Structure 1
Amino acid sequence: MTPSADTRPTHRLSESGVSIWLDDLSRERLTTGNLARLVAEKDVVGVTTNPTIFAAALSKGEAYADALAALAGADVEAAVERITTDDVRDAADVLRPVYDATRAVDGRVSIEVDPRLARDTEATVATAERLWATVARPNVMIKIPATVEGLPAITRVLAQGISVNVTLIFSIERYRAVLDAWLAGLEQARANGHDLAAIGSVASFFVSRVDTAVDAALDAVGTDAARALRGKAAIANARLAFAAYEDVVAGARWQALAAAGAQPQRPLWASTGVKNPDYRDTMYVDELVVAGVVNTMPEATLDAFADHGIVIGDTVSGTADDAAAAIAAVEAQGISLDAVTTQLEAEGVEKFEVSWSQLLQTTQAGLDAAGSAR
């Protein structure tokens, strides 16, 4: 029997203040009405994309055949931008009622700048401006990585009234720098005369990848004490990130911006698909429930949570001391979380660069095939 809306786990999660976003997008989801059904049936109120998602979408089936045929002969870079921005625009239109109903909080769709620009501030800003203008929807967010070079780009893009999803955040130190860049961007946007209420921002703090890396290091230590700490670091790290967020929104800089109508930069739990089959498949959702955050889930995680997710209330507030103790226990095994998160950022950028190359190759093959068919 299908559960009623008020008893299904996704509804209870939403009622707890967690916004459910889908970490996936494709032309097929749009043309079949799948995305609209997820909004209606599984409480999805936003969408995130990245180069890996688009590379996978372009490599499957015939959903993009017409688009590729129309673009035959075009430059491959231009074709990729056209296809991805069209998908994001159409998804934004599907989610526009959510955006309107939540007064510009949810109903958001994110599109990422070319990951090859992650170390180039100027090119990131220029690309973000172009993507914002091309999609031309108020409920789009431009994803900018939280690299050292990305931080000033975040500020400059927000200062223009452009909504930003900051991605690839792994460490608390870098997250604090992201929060500072966000505040500076809103302060400049206010000085520039922009309506702060319309500027959305989330900070995508990656979760499961931390456990994958730390667990491998704990396994290498090999003791019972080390193995007992497996699966603890990622949730503790995320809970400490939320404590850092609470510190900032309690401060005078944010209070002044809030009084001017600004939205908070919500923490967004990313990489919430469980990669270790020994762990509960919804652990990165169940254990990170707190009002005022986003959890963006791959469809497998969304389906699992819709089926058997657990919502027992707030599982984050007041956990900072225990989280710090969990991280200290990991580091007592000789594992540096700073070293782990630094490596994860580098790997994250590299993985998206590889996916972007695959996206270009797949698109070029499709353009060539379409051109030959003429």
Structure 2
Amino acid sequence: MTSTPTAQLSELGVSIWLDDLSRDRISSGALAALIESRNVVGVTTNPTIFAAALATGTTYDEQVSELARAEASVTDAVFAITTSDVAAASDIFAGVYESTNGRDGRVSIEVEPGLAHDAAGTIAEARALWSTVDRPNAMIKIPATREGLEAITETIGAGISVNVTLIFSLERYREVIEAYLAGLEKAHAAGIDLSTIHSVASFFVSRVDTEIDKRLVDLGTPEALALKSKAGVANARLAYELFESSFATDRAATLLSAGGNAQRPLWASTGVKDPSLPDTLYVTELAVANTVNTMPEKTLEATFDHGVIAGDQVTAHYDDARAVLSSLAELGISYDEVTALLEKEGVEKFVVSWNELLDTVAAALEAAR
């Protein structure tokens, strides 16, 4: 028997990725230590994470001074700093990447969020990030906006591994899978080795509960309150059902037999926002093979300390999940409205964080000069 909940989770087939990165984690050895001590096999980043990292400590001072002397623009400085961190983290996970044949050992970096509705701009930046990081175990994060779908296909078609982020609705997830398969077909036609292309589809969990629970509390009826904190898990479980059926089609089978990889679901936003809920809720209730769970450090430590891993908690609950969404509809809560709002707000929040990152770097460059 394995000795820790994180080891049990890994044995079940869940890849644990840390939802955080900083130069201090890299240089101190703390990130490398998580591979051994917490079964961490990958890292995700976003503008919020980088803004927090840049705002504290002195580990970026040397590079900022070099960039200031070179008279780099703020945007170029952010690009240089973030790609440096991702390249260094990718080197730390190179062994995991090799031992899992590219399945894990991944480090994700996001295109500038202001490009979320600009397909051509997203494609260009994805290529620039990929070539600059220059590590086979990097992943480029592209938001699952309508415009992002085209960018996903083109980026995958160019042989670049993609982490599709900000997925909230099942319909958009269906479109993301279509975009991925179309990308694999383009790559195959171009003679690219499909086995080198990996992708995950990041389904956000806790934000669904946060928005829907607000509406349930406003209704205030016993029926409404009984549904609190159930929508996020139900939505993710139905996403996994869609994953299973989508990669069992003849079209997918043809691509997989040609060396392609299934695009695994990734559970994102798995830190619990409601303090009354178990702090490992979005880990233990979504435990199932062939998934990634990207955890903030607080959630990772809670899982390691007291998470109860009781096997597959997803595939036997599809009917229950459908019942939850049906009950919400009966109460007048629009699934489509909620998920559209969450996508819009998700992009807006990343733009705010990106601007904070630009302001932080601008101030640092000015101080260095």
Equivalent residue number for residue 18 of structure 1: 14
* Distance apart, 1:332 and its partner CA: 1.3
Equivalent residue number for residue 249 of structure 1: 247
Out of 303, 309, 312, the position equivalent to 1:311 is: 309
Task: Give the match's secondary structure for 1:137.
Answer: coil
Out of 155, 159, 179, the position equivalent to 1:181 is: 179
Q: State the AA in 1 paired with 2:209.
A: D
Equivalent residue number for residue 85 of structure 2: 87
Cα deviation, 1:299-328, whole Å, max 9, x if unaligned, reads 000000000011110000132111000111
* Percent sequence identity over aligned pairs: 58
Cα deviation, 1:128-169, whole Å, max 9, x if unaligned, reads 000000000000000000000000100000000000000000
Out of 263, 279, 282, the position equivalent to 1:281 is: 279
Q: State the AA in 2 paired with 1:35.
A: L
Equivalent residue number for residue 43 of structure 2: 47
Cα deviation, 1:337-358, whole Å, max 9, x if unaligned, reads 1100000000000000000000
Q: State the AA in 2 paired with 1:79.
A: A
Q: Distance in 1 between matches of 2:278 and 2:101?
A: 35
* Distance apart, 1:66 and its partner CA: 1.0
Q: Distance in 2 between matches of 1:310 and 1:230?
A: 22
Q: State the AA in 2 paired with 1:50.
A: N
Q: Do structure 1's residue 167 and structure 2's residue 168 form an aligned pair?
A: no
Q: Distance in 1 between matches of 2:364 and 2:93?
A: 29
Q: Distance in 1 between matches of 2:224 and 2:317?
A: 22
Q: State the AA in 2 paired with 1:314.
A: D
Q: Which deviates more from structure 2 when the two are superposed, residues 62-71 or residues 210-219?
A: 62-71
Alignment map for 1:149-164 (pairs within 5 Å): 149-164=147-162
Task: Give the match's secondary structure for 2:223.
Answer: helix
Q: Distance in 1 between matches of 2:24 and 2:246?
A: 40
* Distance apart, 1:7 and its partner CA: 1.0
Q: Do structure 1's residue 295 and structure 2's residue 297 form an aligned pair?
A: no
* Distance apart, 1:279 and its partner CA: 0.2
Task: Give the match's secondary structure for 1:106.
Answer: coil
Q: TM-score, normalised by structure 1?
A: 0.97
Q: Distance in 2 between matches of 1:121 and 1:98?
A: 32
* Distance apart, 1:6 and its partner CA: 2.3
Out of 144, 147, 151, the position equivalent to 1:146 is: 144
Q: Distance in 2 between matches of 1:101 and 1:193?
A: 25
Q: Distance in 1 between matches of 2:296 and 2:59?
A: 20
How many residues of Structure 1 are paired with residues of Structure 2 in the alignment? 367
Q: TM-score, normalised by structure 2?
A: 0.99
Task: Give the match's secondary structure for 2:146.
Answer: coil
Q: State the AA in 2 paired with 1:155.
A: T
Q: State the AA in 1 paired with 2:43.
A: V
Q: Distance in 1 between matches of 2:119 and 2:74?
A: 23
Q: Distance in 1 between matches of 2:241 and 2:171?
A: 12
Alignment map for 1:1-374 (pairs within 5 Å): 6-72=2-68, 73-371=71-369
Cα deviation, 1:274-320, whole Å, max 9, x if unaligned, reads 00000000000000011000000000000000000111100001321
Q: Distance in 1 between matches of 2:48 and 2:198?
A: 24
Q: State the AA in 2 paired with 1:151.
A: L
Q: Distance in 2 between matches of 1:330 and 1:63?
A: 48
Q: Which deviates more from structure 2 when the two are superposed, residues 209-218 or residues 67-76?
A: 67-76
Q: Which runs of 4+ in 1 moved over 2 A?
A: none
Task: Give the match's secondary structure for 2:93.
Answer: helix
Task: Give the match's secondary structure for 1:149.
Answer: helix
Task: Give the match's secondary structure for 2:331.
Answer: coil
Q: State the AA in 1 paired with 2:34.
A: L
Q: Distance in 2 between matches of 1:63 and 1:6?
A: 37
Cα deviation, 1:232-258, whole Å, max 9, x if unaligned, reads 000000000001111101101110011
Q: Distance in 2 between matches of 1:242 and 1:6?
A: 26
Q: Distance in 1 between matches of 2:316 and 2:275?
A: 29
Task: Give the match's secondary structure for 1:71.
Answer: helix
Q: Distance in 2 between matches of 1:310 and 1:147?
A: 35
